[in-house]
Amino acid sequence: MKKLVNWQSFTAGFWKENPILTLMLGLCPLLAISGSVTDSIGMGAAFTFVLVGSNVIISAIRRLVPNQVRIPVFIIIIAAFVTITDYFLAAFIPGLKKNLGVFLPLIVVNCIVLGRAEAFASRNNVVNSLLDGLGMGAGFTIVIVLMAAIREALGNGTLGPLRLFGPHYNPFLIMILPPGAFLVLGFLIALKNSLSERGKKC
Partner 1 sequence: MLNQLNPGLIFLSAFLVNNILLIKFIALCSFFGLSSSFSASLGMGLAVVFVMVMSSSVSWAVYHFLLVPLHLEYLRTTTFILTIASLVQFEEIIIRKKAPALYRALGIYLPLITTNCAILAAAFLGIDYQFNFLQNVVYSLGVSGGYCLAILLFAGLRERVSSAPVPSSFQGVPIAFITASLMSLAFLGFKGLFKL
Nearer to partner 1, 82 or 130 (CB): 82
Alpha carbons 36 and 176: distance in angstroms, whole number? 8
Q: Residue 151 Cβ, how far from partner 1 at the closest point, in Å?
A: 12
Q: Could you give phi then psi for residue 162, rounded to 5 degrees? A: -85, 145
Binding site for partner 1 (CB under 8 A): 24-25, 27-28, 31-32, 72, 75-76, 79-80, 82-83, 86-87, 102, 105-106, 108-111, 114, 174, 177-183, 185-187, 189-191, 193-194, 197
Query: By C-alpha distance, which of 185, 64, 170, 61 is closest to 125?
Result: 61
Q: Residue 7 Cβ, how far from partner 1 at the closest point, in Å?
A: 30
Nearer to partner 1, 64 or 102 (CB): 102
Nearer to partner 1, 27 or 159 (CB): 27
Query: By C-alpha distance, which of 16, 77, 23, 49 is closest to 141?
Result: 49
Q: Residue 98 Cβ, how far from partner 1 at the closest point, in Å?
A: 11
Would you say 111 and 26 are in contact if contact means Cβ atoms under 8 Å apart? yes
CA 146, 21, 73 angle in degrees (round to 5)?
A: 105
Q: Residue 36 Cβ, how far from partner 1 at the closest point, in Å?
A: 14
Nearer to partner 1, 61 or 84 (CB): 84
Nearer to partner 1, 8 or 194 (CB): 194
Q: Residue 2 Cβ, how far from partner 1 at the closest point, in Å?
A: 30
Nearer to partner 1, 94 or 178 (CB): 178
**Sign of the alpha-carbon dihedral angle for 105, 134, 139, 143:** positive
Strand partners, 163: 158
DSSP designation for 119: I
Alpha carbons 188 and 182: distance in angstroms, whole number? 10
Instruction: Give the other-Cβ count within 10 Å of 59's Cβ.
Output: 23
Q: Residue 12 Cβ, how far from partner 1 at the closest point, in Å?
A: 21
